[in-house]
Amino acid sequence: MLEARGLTKRYGALLAVDRVDFCVNRGEVLGYLGPNGSGKSTTVNMIVGLLQPGSGEITLNGTKQAEDPAAYKKRIGYVPEEPFLYTHLTAPEYLTLVGRLREMPLEGLERKVTELLKLFLLWDARYSTMAAFSKGMRQRVILAAALLHNPDLLVLDEPFSGLDVNASLLFRSLITMFAAQGRMILFSTHRFDMVEKVCSRAVILSKGRVVAERTITRERPDALEELFHRVTDQQDFTPVARDILAVVQA
Amino acid sequence: MRRPAEASRSRLLTRHFFGALFDLGFLTREGADGFIRVVIGIVAVIITLGLWLTRMYTIVYALPGGVADPAPYVSAVDANTMTAIGLPMWIAAFVTVLISHSLVPDETDYRVLMALPLTKAFIFRAKLLALAMFCALFIAGSLLGLTVLVIVISSSRFAPNIVPVSVAAYWLVGALACLFSVLTIVSINGLLTILVPRSRVHGVTATVKSALLAALMLSIPSVLALPAKAGAFAGHSRALYSLPPAWFVGIERLAFGGGDAFTAVLGRIGLVAFASVSAVAATSYLVLYRRFDRVMLTTVEVSRRRSRWRGTIGDFTLATLRRSSLHQGVLVAVSALGVTLAINRVGGQTATYAALGAVWLLMFFIGLATRAAIALPIDQRANWVFRMTESDATRASQLSAVTRLMRQTTVIVPVLVMAPLEWRLFGARAVPALAMNAVCGLLWVEVLLRGWRRIPFTSSYIPGKQFIAQTLVVGIGTLVLGVTIVGAMALGAARSTAFFLIASLLLGTITLVFRRTRLHLWNNGALEFDDKMPSALDLNLYG
């Protein structure tokens, strides 16, 4: 189980994340929802170990992040919001680099890289550097890299941006089946439709604090969106849209 | 006639392209500030050197007041005019090579701008204008800087024209010569982009860019030796037929008078060469305009060979050095400077022990080049993968790839290069001399790696963290002292086994102390991903 207790992060005077508590159980996909600037990415960066929490504690299956960060990070796979990768490398080179950084044995790694490239439909582009890849292709490379070492926890930060329809469907199936194997998935997004389709529970964040937590039910598809608008003080954007059109047409 | 609105849009786009040429892309905001400090420092050094050169020439031309035979001075005027033309030509070529990746609009330009109501011709025109302005800035700067020198030369009673005519001729022909340099680089790039198979274009152009940078560095002694070509002018040497600056002296004499049959031949060669590169550059630019897909295509096919014996970081480092023109360029250009100075030192004195100091010139510049190349970032935001996998257990072994690379380039390459020369000097005694060279190189590697905690290419970079003058004084001091000391050490090692053993023991001990400190840092300190300015706190000003 992943447990975050009292997570707090401050940037100077700005309190980005304020005493956030949540947990992700085995076999669960937790949706982490929030408007822009609510502290989603800061939380994700703390969970994956890219950012040190100001205070609070993160535990994964009993291993405290602060006590053994290397062992903790070994069990995490991460798909960042933007597919930042070394575009002068080819996809096999990048995956091999990641696998070797994760201390995977070279023999098994080569086989795994080959299989993943074929399954993610990247095999034909194996001799091209990733500079020529579309955003969707790069996203697929990042997902393959995140899964390469068979992690216990998969942290996804807006993984569907830039993906085509087929890749999105593949991602969805993969997330569901991965969780069904008893793994944990933290799915940070602002897309209600995706959360409702793949998550079993959702936590809503606003201004750095957890303001709601809800188990997803398929019976009322719009329930999450209604809750989100209510707890995050979202304004009604209809008048703003009307004003924008008025300015454009003036 | 163009409408005012279109002219305004054109100005705007040209300004955008012009500004982008100064944006190095890989620097953070702090890094960009640091780069400006470095540029200001370099300009100050160039101005100082220019003033020094002018003073030197003023003294030289003040001498021949009452000489009987003016012939040597007439030739000297030709040679010095060639120098005044050759230096800006070199600068123009260097600047053009640096920006050769931006000679045509790139994929981002194309995708962003073609979505707007702008034609391809409009975008290309703005890009070309921006490039012309960028090159003109450096050309005008260098011509202006050397105008005082031209005035000094032209004030001589042996000059072919009066001062105002000489200055006008210099500006006109100098600009033409610089344009020749620019067009030559454009032609080479254009031809490569058109003729090389599409999947190899980026790789080949990156390699050729590094080769051109190396060639320019290696040509520095030839450029600096141009004033010594007075004899070649006097003797109507055919060697001048292959020297581009000499062609433009010929063109100047053809256009403004004061020449002879020999300079007329030089001028005609220059005109033909200029016409040829102009035609090739224009044709290749036109072809690229029509076949823009060749430029747009960023596909790079890579070698299908894979290595098993190199480590993770070693593979990553070599792949980056092979494929990134920036990193390759820095490594090759700075190393070539060392090779240039080493060749210059060895040249003509292979039988003397003075040549032994050349090994230090190689070690000094190749070491600095390697360190600078791996310090520069690539896709810096992609470094999260290294942040996420960092651990105390693997950090030192990952960083050992840096030590390996530094030792290979900074110690092994120079020692292998110097081996034949030292063998010729000492026979079998060259072995301890070369070993002494290696010990000095290993110490230099440890000095260069003091405080280093970075996986190559993953940390941000701030240039000019120290005062430029201070850096130059320390750098030149180390270079000059090193040449003497390392040369003397090799000589001592070749002559006396006792000296070799004692000196090796001493330097080896210092190296081991440095190594121990480095390994302690690597085992206990986290990796560094952000370059920092040295803070006042480091100076212990606050107790």
Q: How far is CA A172 from CA A149, A194, A196, B92, B404, in A?
A: 20, 8, 11, 56, 45
Specify whether B147 is located in the same domain as B279: yes
Q: Which two tokens stand for residue A109?
A: 């790694």
Q: Token match 């040509």: residue? A: B219
Among B241, B264, B296, residue at a domain's last position: B296
For residue B305, pLDDT beyond 70: no
Specify whether B325 is located in the same domain as B433: yes
Q: Flag whether B40 is in a domain.
A: no
Q: How far is CA B507 from CA A219, B356, B441, B484, B511, in A?
A: 78, 18, 10, 16, 6
Q: Which residues of B fall within a CB distance of 8 Å from A75?
A: none
Residue A130 contacts by C-beta under 8 Å, 6 or more apart in sequence?
A85, A86, A87, A88, A89, A90, A91, A94, A137, A138, A141
**pLDDT tens for residues B131-176?**
899 889 889 988 988 888 888 888 877 777 888 888 999 999 999 9
Among B296, B324, B343, residue at a domain's last position: B296
Out of B297, B300, B381, closest to residue A84 by CB: B381
Specify whether B251 is located in the same domain as B366: no
Q: Flag whether B410 is in a domain.
A: yes
Which residue intervals of B63-162 are DSSP H helices? 71-98, 107-113, 120-154
Could you say which DSSP state residue B45 is in?
Answer: H
Specify whether B218 is located in the same domain as B361: no
Q: Flag whether B461 is in a domain.
A: yes
pLDDT at B541: 45
Specify whether B269 is located in the same domain as B340: no
Q: How confident is the model at residue B543 (pLDDT cuts 50, 70, 90)?
A: very low
Out of A88, A103, A132, closest to residue B323 by CB: A88
- Name the A residues in 143-162 with CB < 8 Å from any B CB: 145
Q: Which residues of A fall within a CB distance of 8 Å from B389?
A: 73, 98, 101-102
Q: Residue B358: which domain range?
A: 312-530
Q: Flag whether B146 is in a domain.
A: yes
Q: Which residues of B fall within a CB distance of 8 Å from A50?
A: 384, 387-388
Q: Flag whether B86 is in a domain.
A: no
Q: How far is CA B525 from CA A125, B395, B450, in A?
A: 39, 9, 13
Among B263, B296, B329, residue at a domain's last position: B296
Q: Which of B294, B296, B312, B527 to mutate to test the interface with A (most CBs of A within 10 A)?
A: B312
Residues A117, A114: Cα–Cα separation, whole Å: 5
pLDDT at B542: 41
Domains of chain A: 27-36+67-249 (3.40.50.300)
Residues B52, B56: Cα–Cα separation, whole Å: 6
Specify whether B319 is located in the same domain as B443: yes
Specify whether B320 is located in the same domain as B392: yes
Q: Is the Cβ pair B389, A73 closer than 8 Å?
A: yes
Confirm or reject contact between A124 and chain B (CB < 8 A): no
Q: Is the Cβ pair A127, B304 closer than 8 Å?
A: yes
Q: Flag whether B400 is in a domain.
A: yes
**pLDDT tens for residues B344-385?**
888 766 556 667 888 999 999 999 999 999 999 998 889 999
Q: Is the Cβ pair A88, B386 closer than 8 Å?
A: no
Closest chain B residue to A102, measured at CA: B389
| Closest of B216, B266, B263, B264 to residue B242, by C-alpha | B266
Specify whether B285 is located in the same domain as B328: no
Specify whether B253 is located in the same domain as B326: no
Give percent above pLDDT 90 in chain B. Answer: 39
Residues B188, B214: Cα–Cα separation, whole Å: 15
Q: What is the pLDDT along chain A (250 residues), one digit of tens a residue?
A: 899 999 999 888 888 898 999 999 999 999 998 888 888 889 999 999 888 899 999 999 888 888 888 888 889 999 998 889 998 899 999 999 999 998 888 888 989 999 999 998 899 888 888 888 888 889 899 999 999 999 999 999 888 777 778 778 888 888 889 999 999 999 998 877 888 888 889 999 888 898 888 888 766 666 777 777 777 776 677 888 888 888 888 7
Closest chain B residue to A70, measured at CA: B391
Specify whether B214 is located in the same domain as B348: no
Q: Flag whether B43 is in a domain.
A: no
Confirm or reject contact between A132 and chain B (CB < 8 A): yes
Q: How many domains does chain B have?
A: 2
Specify whether B326 is located in the same domain as B458: yes
Specify whether B266 is located in the same domain as B338: no
From the CA of B160, how many Å to the nearest CA of chain A? Answer: 56
Q: Flag whether B330 is in a domain.
A: yes
Q: Which of A97, A138, A157 to mutate to test the interface with B (most CBs of B within 10 A)?
A: A97
